[in-house]
A and B are shown apart, each in its own frame.
Chain A
Amino acid sequence: MKLELGKIMIKDVQFGEETKVEKGTLYVNKEKIKEMVLEDKRLIKADVELARPGESVRIAPVKDVIEPRVKVEGNGQVFPGIINKVKTVGEGRTHALVGSNVVTCGKIVGFQEGLIDMSGPTAKYTPFSKTNNVCVVIEGREDLETHEYEEAGRLAGLKVAAYIGEAGKKVEPDEIVTYETKPLLEQVAEYPDLPKVGYVHMLQSQGLLHDTYYYGVDAKVMVPTFMYPTEMMDGAIVSGNCVAPCDKVTTFHHFNNPVIEDLYERHGKDINFIGVVLTNENVWLMDKERSSDMTAKLCRHLGLDGVIITEEGYGNPDTDLMMNCQKVAQEDIDVVLITDEFPGRDGKSQSVADTVPEADALVSCGNGNVIEYFPPMDKVIGTLDYIETMIGGYEGSLKEDGSIEAEIQIIIASTIANGYNTLAAKGY
């Protein structure tokens, strides 16, 4: 499967009568977006606000972040099985409006949504302080069940991102990157002397607002499977979860998975990147056992020599991570784990909930329990009403002047456990 990803660099975002890209500026039609969001009768209010890097703006509670993309050539459309018909994607050409994002925010769904500061000392913790954000502020009907509100918000974000993405369809990209993974036997034969490396991608699937979708399939009811990495770049995987903000794998991150990016970078040089094993993180022990058994079986079946495993969330998913690690290692495959850590504010507690002797190579993405001070911002997009009950916040977190004291796990993607950040925890 071969995909050309055309990157259209976006340096600014403005409102305009027409949604279009011109000389690196993205113009969006506010009314059209509001109309589109309110087509879903479960939502009663919608607004659109813009947030640019360096502005004194705080966005909260953030539900998802989505990069606008569009299929230009090849089968299917972005987000197949969710807002478009099911069709295998990952081939042909796709355009991305790099440097812009759709951010869904507004009245909280669960308690695990986060915040984004566009400037100040806490902006550095999230990649989305550096992008031009089209914030879609939503409010659901009073009588909506929480999971219905989650779904309405999720679909609204995806629809708006796909709509904005269309603006890039006929624009000449600033850069085109080609990614290719061949059918298994051909891929193995292409670089016979290089170690065969795979990526085990664990999807959040605990249920109760912690769900991820693969071609529209709820990850908690799937068994581990094998996929081409480029399928993800077309939106085969969509986030639907309100997991702890710091390590939420947003839909943006599924498009731009750093492990996949780096494995492709070294593909044909010192490794042979074979593909992605997709698995889940369920709440029944039997499911954890079954999925990790099957993950190890697939890795062996594919003849892998080495595997990188990432998880989403923390706590009991650490057990899935460790079971995968142990069982894959027992197949005589080298394993490296990537995860974040929660050793408490003083750093003295056990930093992952579970561990196994085979976990002897781990990349840390930082300590989510570190406390930070968030100075007041001139403007809030969404609301700060829920700060104290959001993960990372606590009683007294929100001050009268709008400043916040909270653990950095309240920030979207601050310790994201796939390495799309710059933090690491280390022992002293």
Chain B
Amino acid sequence: MVKEIERAGIPVVHLATIIPISLTIGANRIVPAVSIPHPLGNPKLSYKESKELRKELVGRAFKALQTEVDGQTVFEN
């Protein structure tokens, strides 16, 4: 899906846990998520901390979306 949407000219951020798979399938903008059963949250955190975590991840995804990339890039921070 990532590749097909990009082929149509729309940049895509792949927000996913297993970076090696994102790299294998050919995603260009990759933001590492938390864990497979809970990509955008962490049950060990409090509600407030979890909300901050989600905000940070989505913020990073927006940043990645606006960044010009030259090949596959993992946005670690």
List residues of chain A with CB under 8 Å of any chain B CB.
206-208, 283-285, 288, 316, 318-319, 322-323, 350, 353-355
Contact = CB atoms under 8 A, between A and B. Distances in A.
Interface string B10-51: 000000011111001100000010111100000000000000
Given A283-B35, A316-B36, A354 B20 contact: yes
B35 A319 contact: no
B37 A208 contact: yes
19 contacts: A206-B36, A207-B37, A208-B37, A283-B17, A283-B35, A284-B34, A284-B36, A285-B17, A285-B18, A285-B32, A285-B35, A288-B18, A316-B17, A316-B18, A316-B21, A318-B21, A319-B18, A319-B21, A323-B20
Contacts of A353: 21, 24
A97 to B, nearest CB: 38
Q: What 6 pairs across the A-B complex have the smallest Cβ distances? A: A283-B36, A284-B35, A354-B24, A319-B20, A354-B21, A283-B35
A354 B24 CA distance: 6
B24 to A, nearest CB: 5
Contacts of A322: 20
Contacts of A206: 36-37
A371 B20 CA distance: 30
Contacts, number: 36
A352 to B, nearest CB: 9
Nearest to B32: A285
Contacts of B34: 284
A27 B51 CA distance: 60
What is the interface residue range for chain B against chain A?
A: 10 to 19
A355 B24 contact: yes
B19 A285 contact: yes
A208 B35 CA distance: 13
Interface centre among B18, B21, B24, B32 (most CB of A within 10 A): B18
A316 to B, nearest CB: 5
B33 to A, nearest CB: 9
A129 to B, nearest CB: 34
Contacts of B25: 350
Contacts of B37: 206-208, 283
A318 B17 CA distance: 14
Nearest to B38: A283
A55 to B, nearest CB: 40
Contacts of B21: 316, 318-319, 353-354
B13 to A, nearest CB: 17
A128 B21 CA distance: 34
Nearest to A326: B20
A319 B20 CA distance: 7
Given A283-B36, A284-B34, 12 more contacts: A206-B36, A207-B37, A283-B17, A283-B35, A283-B37, A284-B36, A285-B19, A285-B35, A319-B18, A322-B20, A354-B21, A355-B24
Contacts of B35: 283-285
Contacts of B24: 353-355
A397 to B, nearest CB: 26
Nearest to A208: B37
Contacts of B19: 285
Contacts of B36: 206, 283-284, 316
Q: Which of A206, A285, A318, A319 has the most C-beta atoms of chain B within 10 angstroms of its own C-beta?
A: A285
Contacts of A283: 17, 35-37
A312 B34 CA distance: 23
A350 B3 CA distance: 14
Contacts of A207: 37
